[in-house]
Amino acid sequence: MNEVFTSIAKKSDEHEFYTPVPDGYKPGKTKYVVVFGTVMSGLGKGIFSSALAKLMQDGGLVVAPVKFDGYLNVDAGTLNPYRHGEVFVLDDGTESDMDLGTYERFLDCPLSKENYLTGGKLFSMILNRERKGKYLGRDVQFIPHVTGEIKRFMRELAMLRNADLVFIEVGGTAGDIENAYFIEAMRELAYEEGPGNVCNVALTYLLEPQFLGEQKSKAAQLGIKALLGMGIQPHIIACRSTNPATEKVREKISVFSNVPMERVVGVHDMDSVYLIPDLLEQAGLHRRVAEFLGFTVKDNPIARAQWHEFMASLLHPKKKITIGMTGKYTGLRDSYASILKSLEHAGVASGCSVNIKWIETTAIKDDQAAAEALKDVDGIIVPGGFGKRGSEGKIACIQYAREHNIPYLGLCFGFQMAVLEYARHVCGISKAGSTELDTDCEPVIDILPEQKKIEGLGGNMRLGGRDVEIKSGTKAHAIYGASHVRERFRHRYEVNPDYIAQLEKAGMVFSGKHPEHPIMQILELPKHPFFVGVQFHPEFTSRPLRPNPLYKAFVAAASSPDRRA
């Protein structure tokens, strides 16, 4: 056992050290890879970390990712998609950063609240512990208490997952005030765990101004210098760039940072993020990380062959289809990241590439505008969302899809809007609406008192994985091939049970519901080639090698030659 760690652990309660150590934790049993950002945000730390973690996982190691976000929100649930991209919902109901979705897709494993830490969550934990007298009357400080709790979080994750390797992604960039204490915690972690147990990776950026026509490393050097100034010596440097990093630039960075040339790797723009594992594998990066940490990674030809087969189908599709994405966050593609990835996965399964036609529903005011917007699409998705803006445009698009036999997939809010469209135009309930959008309406979509009691909702959403009971003989049952499935939810409003009989009499089938209560979760129109709405978010459970069944069926219908028959 590391002598420094043993000494600190013994003195934690009495001296200036504060290093809470989970019972049974053994330093050196789990190793750590810490990924830092420099120069600028948005370089793809999550993608890089996920790709490297996948290679280590394929090599036989048990890996556990964790993302740190410095903002003071407790979670990502209240963040505007324009500011922070998609909110990714984990099975336990945690509303997290979209990078957690990247980890789940690459590693094909469900994550939980133990894999996600924000500044707000961290400080809430600390203040709660302080109120309970857990700090023995001491003044609670950033060092050692805040950094100590961060280290506790990482070590508890290591034990919970019985991980060989924990991948820690530090959000933001070196120099940000909001992540300075976290970077300090990682410096302390390396000090306490001992040599060869923590590998620091700096992701930096190579500028390539068009007016110069060559790559420049100065910004990268200054970013690395900021890390060095905080006590972080990188062991690996990954150079993000538009074009492959030149040897000259890599040499400059190597000399400046004390990192050997073979550990300074280029990560240039690729046609797909799923090509990044191969890029890192060709550079031998996973083996260099394993060597540094004292691991041996095995060859796994089966896993690599499956991945290469997926990539070959992705890059060389046999046909193309166009899907209309009708939403109100179309100005930022990250708002729909998981949907786009799910369509990509399903496209590979159907041998086609999926082109997205972005349709801003706030601009659709009537049936004619909907027809013009959707005239050249092979399928339509109405994604999740909140609020009234753009909702009438979505309903107009749904009506067009229903009446013109265009494959339709409604997600969460899209499920509710499909119910309203059918209630108005088929059932004749002209004022059918949602109390979320208009309190002066026929409340076909509503929050019901008995549902609040059932789920304990109150003003909160139903979040995370829930079981769905599927009716036999329906399209949903054929798609899933099961009578019970588990999907992830993020919503407040439901179909009002008072209107279910009227909707069903008019031809709508609710093929999925809550196992015990009259809460509708899947709808379909049997006479339509493909018209399905779901109250949940199937995109959160889609994986590259295991597309979600609903997306797979939707893309198959959209790519069928007789889709408009």
Q: Is residue 284, in this structure, part of any structural domain at all?
A: yes
Return d(Cα 30, Cα 23) in angstroms, integer: 15
Task: State the catalytic residue, choosing from 145, 286, 491, 537.
Answer: 537
**Residue 94 is which amino acid?**
T
Kindly state whether residues 91 and 169 are assigned to the same domain: yes
User: pLDDT truncated to tens, each residue of the chain (565 aa)?
Assistant: 466 666 665 555 566 778 888 999 999 999 999 999 998 888 899 999 999 999 999 999 999 999 999 999 999 888 877 677 789 999 999 999 999 999 999 999 999 999 999 999 999 999 999 999 988 778 899 999 999 999 999 999 999 999 999 999 999 999 889 999 999 999 999 999 999 999 999 999 999 988 888 899 999 999 999 999 999 999 999 999 999 999 999 999 999 999 999 999 999 999 999 999 999 999 999 999 999 999 999 999 999 999 999 999 999 999 999 999 997 665 566 788 999 999 999 999 999 999 999 998 888 888 899 999 999 999 999 998 777 787 899 999 999 999 999 999 999 999 999 999 999 999 999 999 999 898 899 999 998 665 555 554 444 678 999 999 999 999 999 999 999 999 999 988 999 999 999 999 999 999 999 999 889 999 999 999 999 999 999 999 999 999 999 999 999 999 987 754 4
Task: Please tell me the chain's helix, strand, coil percentages from 3-state DSSP, rounded to the nearest 5.
Answer: 40, 20, 35
Kindly state whether residues 137 and 119 are assigned to the same domain: yes
Kindly state whether residues 217 and 357 are assigned to the same domain: no
Helix (H, G, I), strand (E, B) or coil at 430: coil
Task: State the catalytic residue, choosing from 149, 184, 494, 539.
Answer: 539
Kindly state whether residues 506 and 534 are assigned to the same domain: yes
- The CATH number of whichever domain residue 160 belongs to comes to 3.40.50.300
Q: Is residue 152, in this structure, part of any structural domain at all?
A: yes
Helix (H, G, I), strand (E, B) or coil at 242: coil
**Is 316 known to be catalytic?**
no
Return d(Cα 107, Cα 269) in angstroms, integer: 21
Go through 310-331 and write b for each residue having 16 or more CB atoms within 10 A of its CB, e for each that does not: bbebbeebeeebebbbbbbbbe
Kindly state whether residues 251 and 338 are assigned to the same domain: no
Residue after which a domain boundary falls, among 307, 339, 371: 307
Kindly state whether residues 200 and 252 are assigned to the same domain: yes
Q: Is residue 16, in this structure, part of any structural domain at all?
A: no
Residue after which a domain boundary falls, among 278, 307, 336: 307
Q: What per-residue confidence (pLDDT) applies to 14?
A: 61
Q: Is residue 19, in this structure, part of any structural domain at all?
A: no
Counted domains in the chain: 2
The 10 Å Cβ neighbour count of residue 351 is: 14
Kindly state whether residues 292 and 332 are assigned to the same domain: no
**Is 484 known to be catalytic?**
no
Return d(Cα 502, Cα 520) in angstroms, integer: 14
Kindly state whether residues 269 and 346 are assigned to the same domain: no
Q: What per-residue confidence (pLDDT) applies to 363?
A: 83
Residue after which a domain boundary falls, among 255, 279, 307: 307
Kindly state whether residues 300 and 341 are assigned to the same domain: no
**Is 192 known to be catalytic?**
no
- The CATH number of whichever domain residue 521 belongs to comes to 3.40.50.880
Q: What per-residue confidence (pLDDT) applies to 77?
A: 87
Q: Is residue 20, in this structure, part of any structural domain at all?
A: no
Kindly state whether residues 181 and 265 are assigned to the same domain: yes
Kindly state whether residues 537 and 490 are assigned to the same domain: yes
Kindly state whether residues 452 and 342 are assigned to the same domain: yes
Task: State the catalytic residue, choosing from 412, 427, 436, 491.
Answer: 412
**What's the length of the chain?**
565
**Residue 50 is which amino acid?**
S
What is the span of the domain harbouring residue 404? 317-558
Q: What per-residue confidence (pLDDT) applies to 457?
A: 42
